[in-house]
């Protein structure tokens, strides 16, 4: 027997409809790519997105067609998103930090028909135009004045489209499982693979993240998503902010400490979200300029593990609550968030820290399990390492065009490729990527755990740990350290710093000081490159291969 | 093109699975019907609910069968709910405050096969046993010791079922649109009509209410739902509390001020929800006993309009934030909540009050509109009255067995039967029931607005306003007042109190002091009864009908 409640498909156009109806004059403020701060409202953004929808229909875009964006976080980018998604086309967010080869691969694989592009990235597209045969049209996200300087033959001007088309497009009316967004994983192994979000998955992700124990956004918040819309949906904020009527502040192309600080203060931002490197830059800027944070209350940090120094710095120096979150492109992206439970909240802050630095716990709607290599479930005891697998309505089922084959286990869980522990409070901690874990004498050593501690050394700017071949133990850890400018240090200094903080047998066999630690397109340490560089490294006490 | 995200049906069994997995030792504390305080946990509740599922399967219950509960808010009642819903049967919550005739009508209309019943209501069922031909079995929600005193031939004992059956029942695995719960409206006109909730509608209602700007529940909360599970799903708290791992405190049969106060303090309750009369009783108790509220932070009040005196009393005397909410059985029930927007939050509290006393604003997932009698949309100007209509994924589409026929308008909105205004901040205010509105000289007068002001008079305990026939104006308002014990007052005193607070032409033509104002089964003022009593009332200055 079926229930008798209304059929109301969960399509994301309804989110912007809601914002327009109930929060019409709430602002969306952007640092534009052209330079000035630009102010709009949800009502205006809604109208302009409808005009973009009509422009796309006039250009022949049909439901299911892929329309890409190569753009910073701005109000125009949101207009493009909703304009594309509202008519059942698929918004493919391109990551401008990718190498041109990868970008072209992704554009071709997705068969993008149109690309909305910011002025910043026009040269890249022009240079590689010939390698994008499916692309019929470029839309430069600027006004007519700036269009004059654009060197991209045949490209359309965003503001022309807005002006030329009526705001009467019809949105929605299709199955909530209709594809809505497409985002490729950065692909540390093999080719990038596309995750095809549905309207339903994005809508449910929005509701789940809005819970008090997750992002807890309110209509009274002013939200600055530093995390890019091209990187796992800006953690859903382009949906969740309008869903509650929060003011949005978009950083555009400028994510340096000074620019972010300026926006935080001038716009009265209360909530922000970004990867650790951005917060590191902001902290450095604040300290250097004796800056203050007068309105910011909460920050969610994800994308890679939060160093303790950042969490403490924000709390102790600026009174800002930092919450650690974890997710990936395949999880829309929210998987877990380290919001204290009642038991953890009752602890002194010093004791809470241990838990707050973990990746956190799953909200209802995200299922987690740890398994061994054979798929058997492992205990939640806080020490047993296992493969982390996830299941839920906004977790990937298969990649676009079936790339990578069958990616679910027999229970329907997606293997994250991470190795993790889960403790008795339900707090998950990534101990490593499955492929980065160091297998020493049959036991696993977490490269990330050592890195996180090593980077806490006052002289360290970045640290990386990889496994290096060892004749007796198979692999042993090697620590690479990039020192802060002007610092010098010794191997012994770092080993002494680690002593007592990690198990003795985890102690790296050697420490190497480097000028640069390679980062991938999403700002994470690129272990693949490091492993290649050090594949022949000879650890102390080991005879060089002959 | 469809998205490629996981198929993860939104079924409510997953909510309790989540609580069991991640909040296993979080408590559910009940004041039992037998008397003592009983403590259990989500893990135990989950296991016992599974045993109840197996008991139901053994009794021949099949998907879609209706299994009723006639019970107070307790842990056992939750076990029955999840036990029924988990196997795809329909949990039909019976309201014990209904007259026996209505109860039998509803049981027969629903074709309930089994009724779970609290000790309190055994006599009612025994007396009317013969009028419930579809009912095959009663399960008394008690232990074997208390079963000895039960006079209901053939009835089963809840604790026996728990003991006799294994906890290995399989839950879920069906379409998320499967019927899950059934609740009849109190039916002020015509027969009661059943609202058939689906798993999907309950799950989505849970997520929407968990938002910070709605109930904003957290795993750190301790929640006391005074609002009964038999009354519009206890506003979803039996789902939303386990979804976040909040501690639940169930009041059982005792909802007087002293009993509620005792639980609030002894269990450290932070959040509660109830109708105004319960809060009125609690306030009176606190004042009479010089009681304190040391842990309670937030209260949601709904079911009928919140008198200003209650909102102020809780805030000024006890530091508790009161939020007004509105909903109905047909809306699962949450429709709106008067959580301040950023603009309202910026006002001094005195100016906020005007908005906080309204029924509030819609979260994403609830659409509201005001229309005239012809269905044309009316403006959101805060003064124009119109019929309030709602649409969304947890709003009724049709009543069970098609009762009442087609209940949606051409746009798919359900007509609430309320008359309301919506202001420029999106705050909706119920001005009346469509049938209670007083039509005076072609204009509408809100009976509720006058009542809410009149009840603020220091001598008033309750107030009701109805329209009485008038030869010139068609109808004019008559105010009925029940004074507080020991008080006396004059007509002139009350008319003077209203002066300046309502439009002059809204002033009641007469005031009648009464010993009793009749209340319906859900505790609301029963205008139908009052109108019958006063149908021949002659207003001052009007000649009696001959």
- What does the pLDDT average to over A186-196? 80
Q: Are B196 and A4 within 8 A, CB to CB?
A: yes
**pLDDT at residue B442, as a whole number:** 73
- Do B196 and A18 make contact, defined as CB atoms within 8 angstroms? no
The yes-or-no verdict on residue B190 having pLDDT over 80 is: no
Side by side, the strands of the sheet bearing B386-391 are B367-371, B386-391, B414-422, B428-433
N-to-C CA span, chain A: 74
CA distance A465 to A388: 21
Band of pLDDT at residue A444, cut at 50, 70 and 90: confident
What local confidence, expressed as pLDDT, does residue B545 receive? 54
Residue in chain B nearest A220 by alpha carbon? B342
Predicted confidence (pLDDT) per residue in A238-289, tens digit? 999 999 999 999 999 999 999 999 999 999 999 999 999 899 999 999 999 9
- In this predicted structure, what is the pLDDT of residue A451? 92
Tell me what the mean pLDDT of segment B67-84 comes to. 98
Task: Spell out which residues of chain A touch residue B170, defining contact as CB-CB under 8 Å.
Answer: none
Mutate which of B1, B85, B236, B239 to test chain A, going by most A C-beta atoms within 10 A? B1
Q: Which tokens go with B162?
A: 């728990």
Task: Pick the closest to residue A395 from A376, A410, A408, A382 (CA basis).
Answer: A408
Helix (H) or strand (E) holding A185: none
Q: Do B5 and A199 touch (CB under 8 A)?
A: no
pLDDT at B437: 86
Nearest CA in chain B to A242: B364
Choice between B501 and A442, residue whose per-residue pLDDT is larger: B501
Does A393 contact B5 at a Cβ distance shorter than 8 Å? Answer: yes
Question: What are the chain B neighbours of A28 within 8 Å (beta carbons)?
Answer: none
Q: Which of A22, A220, A394 sits opposite B426 (nearest CB)?
A: A22
Residue A184 belongs to a domain? yes
Contact at 8 Å (CB) between A352 and B220? no
Cross-chain residue pair A8–B195, CB shorter than 8 Å: no
Decide if B397 and A6 are in contact by the 8 Å CB cutoff.
Answer: yes
Percent of chain A at pLDDT above 90?
87
How far apart are the C-alpha atoms of B45 and A476, rounded to whole Å?
47
Task: Sort A544 into a burial class: Cβ within 10 Å, 0-12 / 13-18 / 19+.
Answer: exposed
Supply the pLDDT for residue B443: 77
Residue B334, in any domain of the structure: no
Report pLDDT for A188. Answer: 57
Does a structural domain hold residue A180?
yes
Contact of B125 with B151, CB cutoff 8 Å:
no
Residues in B touching A217 (Cβ below 8 Å) = 212
Kindly state whether residue A520 falls inside one of the protein's structural domains: yes
- The DSSP bridge partners found for residue A169 are none
> What spatial distance separates the first Cα and last Cα of chain B, rounded to whole Å?
74
pLDDT bracket for residue B413 (50, 70, 90): very high
- Asked if A6 lies within 8 A of B391 by C-beta distance, the reply is yes
Facing residue for B4 by CB, picked from A206, A210, A396? A396
Answer for the pair A116, A66: CB distance below 8 angstroms, yes or no.
no
Give residue B229's region: left, alpha or beta (phi > 0; psi -120 to 50).
alpha
Is A487 buried (19+), middle (13-18) or exposed (0-12) by CB count in 10 A? middle
Inter-chain touch B8–A393, beta carbons under 8 Å: yes
The minimal CB distance from B178 to the residues A3, A364, A414 is found for: A3
Q: Which residue of B has its CA nearest to A408?
A: B6
Are B260 and B278 a contacting pair, CB within 8 Å?
yes
Instruction: Count the domains in chain A.
Output: 2
Q: What number of other Cβ atoms are within 10 A of residue A174's Cβ? A: 17
Domain end call among A175, A206, A237: A206
- Per-residue pLDDT, averaged over A464-476, amounts to 92
Tokens of B184: 């009849």
Q: Stretch B211-235: mean pLDDT, rounded?
A: 96
- Mean pLDDT for the stretch of residues B454-463: 94
Cβ-nearest to A2 among B15, B198, B220: B198
**β-bridge partners, B398:** none
Phi-psi region of B83 (alpha: psi -120 to 50; beta: other; left: phi over 0): alpha
- B439 in catalytic set: yes
Task: Determine the structural domain holding residue B464 and report its residue range.
Answer: 436-545
CA distances from B491 to B453, B464, B468, B498 (A): 15, 14, 17, 11
Chain B CB contacts of A381 under 8 Å are none
Q: How far is it, in rounded angstroms, from Cα B405 to Cα B428?
A: 27
- The answer to whether position A73 is within a domain reads yes
CA distance B113 to A194: 50
Q: How far is A16 from chain B (nearest CA, A)?
A: 9
CB distance B139 to B155 below 8 Å: yes
* Residues of A with active-site annotation: 185, 330, 439, 444
The answer as to whether A442 is a domain residue is yes
- On the question of pLDDT at A321 being above 50, the answer is yes
Mean pLDDT computed over every residue of chain A: 95
B13-25: average pLDDT: 98
Question: What's the confidence (pLDDT) of residue A403?
Answer: 93
DSSP code per residue over A390-446:
EESTTSBSS-GGGTTS--B-TTSPEEEEEEEEE-TTS-EEEEEETTT-EEETTEEE-
Question: Which runs of consecutive H residues, i.e. helices, occur in A63-198?
Answer: 75-86, 100-110, 122-127, 144-147, 158-164
Matching residue, tokens 């590191």: A280
> Please, what sign has the CA dihedral across residues B77, B80, B85, B90?
negative
User: Could you tell me the CATH number of the domain that includes residue A471?
Assistant: 3.30.300.30
Of A157, A163, A162, A161, the closest CA to residue A144 belongs to A157
pLDDT(B440) > 90: no
Instruction: Show residues of chain A in contact with B214, CB under 8 Å.
Output: none
Q: Measure the CA–CA gap between B305 and B359, rounded to whole angstroms.
A: 7
Mean pLDDT, all residues of chain B: 95
pLDDT at A352: 97
How far apart CA A434 and CA A455 sit, in angstroms, is 21
With a pLDDT cut of 70, the percent of chain A lying above it is: 99
Who among A3, A362, A393 is closest to B197 (CB)? A3
Closest approach of A240 to chain B, Cα-based (Å): 10
Q: What is the mean pLDDT of residues B181-206?
A: 90
Give the distance from residue A114's alpha carbon to the nearest chain B alpha carbon, in angstroms. Answer: 17
Q: Residue B18 is part of a domain; what is its CATH number?
A: 3.40.50.12780
Report yes or no: B116 and B71 within 8 Å, Cβ to Cβ. yes
| Chain B: residue whose CA lies nearest to A398 | B4
Q: Compute CA distances B534 → A438, B80, B108, B156, B515, whole Å.
A: 85, 44, 34, 47, 15
Q: Is B351 exposed, middle or buried (0-12, 13-18, 19+ CB in 10 A)?
A: exposed
In a domain, A294, yes or no: no
What mean pLDDT comes out for the span B51-60? Answer: 98
Q: Which residues of B touch A414 (CB under 8 A)?
A: 6
Q: Is the Cβ–Cβ distance between B434 and B419 less than 8 Å?
A: yes
Chain-centroid distance, C-alpha A435: 20
Distance CA B359, CA A226 (A): 36
| Cβ neighbours of B469 (radius 10 Å) | 16
Among the partner residues A4, A18, A211, nearest to B244 by beta-carbon distance: A211
Which secondary structure element, helix H or strand E, spans residue B162, and what is its range? Answer: helix B158-164
DSSP state of B456: T
- Residues of chain B with pLDDT > 90: what percent? 86
> Are A5 and B394 inside 8 Å of each other by CB?
yes
| Separation of alpha carbons A334 and A311, rounded Å | 20
Q: Is B247 one of the catalytic residues? A: no
Taking only the tens place, the pLDDT of each residue in A86-131 is 999 999 999 998 889 999 999 999 999 999 999 999 999 999 999 9
Which residue carries 């790519």 as its tokens? A33
Band the pLDDT of B290: cuts 50, 70, 90: very high
Which of B447, B375, B383, B435 lies closest to B408 in space, CA to CA?
B375
Chain A residues within 8 A of B63 when measuring between CB atoms:
1
Question: Is B223 domain-assigned?
Answer: no
What is the per-residue pLDDT across A279-316, written as a single tens digit (0 to 9) for each? 999 999 999 999 999 999 999 999 888 889 999 999 99
Domain boundary among B206, B225, B248: B206
State the Cα torsion A269-A274-A277-A279 to the nearest 10°.
Answer: 20
Q: What's residue A437's pLDDT?
A: 87
Which single residue is written with the structure tokens 């969610």?
Answer: A300
Q: Note the pLDDT of residue B503.
A: 87
DSSP B130: G
- Contact yes or no for B360/B427 (Cβ under 8 A): yes
Q: How confident is the model at residue A187 (pLDDT cuts 50, 70, 90)?
A: low
Q: Between β-strands A428-433 and A414-422, what pairing exists: parallel, antiparallel or unpaired?
A: antiparallel
Mean pLDDT, rounded, for B473-481: 94
CA distance B425 to chain A (A): 7
Domain boundary among B206, B236, B265: B206
pLDDT bucket at B188, cuts 50 / 70 / 90: low
Interface predicted TM-score (ipTM) of this complex, two decimals: 0.91
Q: How confident is the model at residue B546 (pLDDT cuts 50, 70, 90)?
A: very low
Give the pLDDT score at B3: 98
Judge: B5–A213 Cβ closer than 8 Å, yes or no. no
Provide mean pLDDT across the span B188-215.
93
Q: Which tokens sit at A161?
A: 């489209």
Out of B185, B331, B336, B339, the active site residue is B185
Q: What pLDDT shows up at residue A546?
A: 47
Q: Is the pLDDT of residue B317 over 60?
A: yes
B/e letters for B216-249, b = 16+ CB within 10 Å, e = fewer, are bbbbbbbbbbbbbbbbbbbbbbbbbbbbbbbbbb
Name chain B contacts of A27, Cβ cutoff 8 Å. Answer: none
B345 neighbourhood in chain A, CB within 8 Å = 220
Neighbour count for residue A258 (Cβ, 10 Å) = 14
């Amino acid at each position: 027997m079926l229930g008798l409640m209304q059929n109301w498909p969960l399509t994301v156009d309804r989110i912007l409809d809601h914002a327009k109806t109930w929060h019409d004059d709430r602002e969306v403020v952007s640092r534009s790519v052209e330079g000035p701060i630009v102010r709009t409202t949800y009502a205006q953004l809604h109208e302009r997105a409808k005009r973009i929808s009509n422009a796309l229909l006039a250009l022949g875009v049909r439901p299911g067609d892929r329309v890409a964006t190569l753009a910073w976080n701005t109000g125009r980018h949101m207009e493009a998103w909703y304009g594309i998604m509202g008519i059942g086309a698929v918004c493919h967010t391109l990551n401008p930090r990718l190498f041109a080869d990868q970008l072209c691969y992704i554009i071709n694989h997705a068969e993008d028909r149109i690309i909305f592009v910011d002025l910043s990235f026009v040269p890249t597209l022009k240079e590689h135009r010939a390698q994008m045969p499916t692309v019929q049209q470029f839309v430069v996200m600027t006004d007519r004045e700036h269009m004059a300087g654009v060197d991209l033959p045949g490209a359309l001007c965003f503001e022309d489209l807005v002006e030329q088309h009526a705001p009467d497009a019809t949105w929605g009316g299709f199955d909530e499982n209709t594809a809505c967004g497409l985002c490729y994983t950065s692909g540390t192994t093999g080719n990038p693979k596309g995750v095809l979000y549905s309207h339903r998955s994005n809508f449910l992700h929005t509701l789940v993240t809005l819970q008090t124990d997750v992002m807890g956004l309110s209509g009274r918040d002013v939200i600055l998503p530093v995390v890019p819309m091209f990187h796992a949906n800006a953690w859903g904020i382009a949906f969740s902010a309008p869903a509650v009527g929060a003011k949005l502040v978009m950083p555009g192309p400028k994510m340096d400490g000074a620019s972010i600080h300026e926006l935080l203060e001038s716009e009265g931002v209360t909530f922000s979200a970004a990867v650790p490197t951005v917060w590191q830059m902001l902290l450095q800027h604040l300290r250097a300029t004796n800056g203050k944070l007068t309105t910011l209350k909460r920050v969610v940090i994800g994308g890679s593990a939060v160093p303790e120094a950042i969490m403490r710095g924000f709390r102790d120096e600026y009174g800002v609550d930092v919450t650690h979150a974890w997710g990936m492109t395949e999880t829309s992206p929210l998987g877990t968030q380290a919001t204290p439970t009642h038991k953890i909240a009752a602890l002194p802050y010093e004791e809470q820290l241990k838990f707050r630095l973990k990746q956190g716990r799953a909200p209802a709607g995200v299922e987690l399990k740890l398994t061994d290599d054979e798929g058997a479930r492992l205990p939640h005891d806080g020490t047993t390492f296992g493969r982390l697998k996830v299941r839920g309505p906004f977790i990937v089922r298969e990649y676009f065009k079936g790339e990578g084959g069958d990616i679910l286990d027999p229970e329907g869980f997606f293997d994250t490729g991470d190795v993790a522990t889960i403790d008795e409070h339900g707090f998950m901690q990534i101990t490593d990527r499955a492929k980065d874990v160091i297998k020493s004498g049959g036991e696993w050593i977490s490269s990330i755990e050592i890195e996180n501690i090593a980077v806490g050394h006052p002289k360290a700017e970045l640290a990386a740990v990889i496994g290096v071949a060892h004749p007796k133990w198979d692999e042993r850890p090697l620590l690479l350290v990039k020192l802060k400018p002007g610092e010098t240090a010794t191997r012994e200094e770092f080993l002494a710093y680690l002593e007592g903080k990690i198990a003795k047998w985890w102690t790296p066999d050697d420490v190497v000081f480097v000028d640069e630690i390679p980062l991938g397109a999403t700002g994470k340490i690129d272990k693949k490159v490091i492993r290649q560089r050090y594949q022949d490294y000879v650890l102390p006490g080991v005879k060089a291969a002959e």
